[in-house]
Amino acid sequence: MSDVTLVLRTRTSLPELWPLLDGIASQRLKPRRIVVVDSGSSADVLARLYVAVVSGWEGIPLKLIEIDPSAYGSAHALNVGMQAVETPLAAVLSQDAQPADDGYLEALATAMEDPGRAGCYGRQVPRGDCDPWTARDLEATYGPESKDQSAPDCWFVNTCSMIRRELWERFPFDEQAGIVEDHAWARDVQQAGYRVRYVAEAVVRHHHDHRELAALWQRFRDEGAGLRQVHGRRTGVWAALTGSAREAGRDVAMLAKRGELKRAPRAALRRAVKHGALYWGGRREDQP
Q: Is the per-residue pLDDT at 232 higher than 80? A: no
Query: Are 61 and 91 members of one domain?
Result: yes
DSSP helix, strand, coil percent of the chain (3-state; round to 5): 50, 20, 35
Query: Are 187 and 228 members of one domain?
Result: no
How confident is residue 275, by pLDDT bands cut at 50, 70 and 90? very high
Mean pLDDT of the chain: 91
Distance CA 44, CA 16 (A): 13
- 80-95: pLDDT as tens digits: 999 999 999 999 999 9
Mean pLDDT in residue range 193-221: 89
Distance CA 192, CA 144 (A): 28
Query: Are 105 and 226 members of one domain?
Result: no
Task: Identify which of 233, 230, 245, 232 has the alpha carbon closest to the alpha carbon of residue 275.
Answer: 245
Task: Identify which of 134, 168, 170 has the alpha carbon closest to the alpha carbon of residue 35.
Answer: 168
Query: Are 70 and 147 members of one domain?
Result: yes
- 163-191: pLDDT as tens digits: 999 999 999 999 988 889 999 999 999 99
Burial class (CB in 10 A: 0-12, 13-18, 19+), 232: exposed
In the listed set 205, 223, 255, which residue is the last one of a domain according to the structure? Answer: 205
Mean pLDDT in residue range 109-137: 92
Q: Total domain count for the chain? A: 2
pLDDT of 129: 79
Query: Are 89 and 48 members of one domain?
Result: yes
Query: Are 252 and 151 members of one domain?
Result: no
pLDDT of 73: 86
Query: What residues have CB less than 8 Å from 62, skipping those under 6 apart?
Result: 33, 34, 35, 36, 49, 52, 53, 56
Cβ atoms of 213 and 265 closer than 8 Å:
no
Residue 89 has φ and ψ, to the nearest 5°, of: -120, 145
Distance CA 38, CA 84 (A): 14
Query: Are 68 and 160 members of one domain?
Result: yes
Peptide bond into 152 cis (omega under 30): yes
- 9-57: pLDDT as tens digits: 998 877 889 999 999 999 999 999 999 999 999 999 999 999 999 999 9
Distance CA 170, CA 82 (A): 12
Quote the radius of gyration of the chain (alpha carbons, Å): 19
If one compares 122 and 131, the residue with the highest pLDDT of the two is: 122
Query: Are 103 and 220 members of one domain?
Result: no
In the listed set 170, 205, 240, which residue is the last one of a domain according to the structure? Answer: 205
DSSP 8-state symbol, 195: E
Task: Identify which of 155, 139, 158 has the alpha carbon closest to the alpha carbon of residue 147.
Answer: 155
In the listed set 205, 240, 255, which residue is the last one of a domain according to the structure? Answer: 205
Query: Are 235 and 175 members of one domain?
Result: no
Give the Cβ contact number of residue 113 at 10 Å: 7
pLDDT of 47: 93
Cβ atoms of 65 and 35 closer than 8 Å:
yes
- 240-250: pLDDT as tens digits: 999 999 999 99
Distance CA 167, CA 189 (A): 8
Domain hosting residue 66, numbered range: 4-205
Query: Are 113 and 198 members of one domain?
Result: yes
- How many percent of the chain have pLDDT more than 70? 97
Query: Are 130 and 49 members of one domain?
Result: yes
Query: Are 257 and 133 members of one domain?
Result: no
Burial class (CB in 10 A: 0-12, 13-18, 19+), 157: buried
Helix runs in the chain, H state only: 17-25, 43-55, 74-82, 104-111, 132-141, 165-170, 181-191, 213-231, 237-258, 264-282
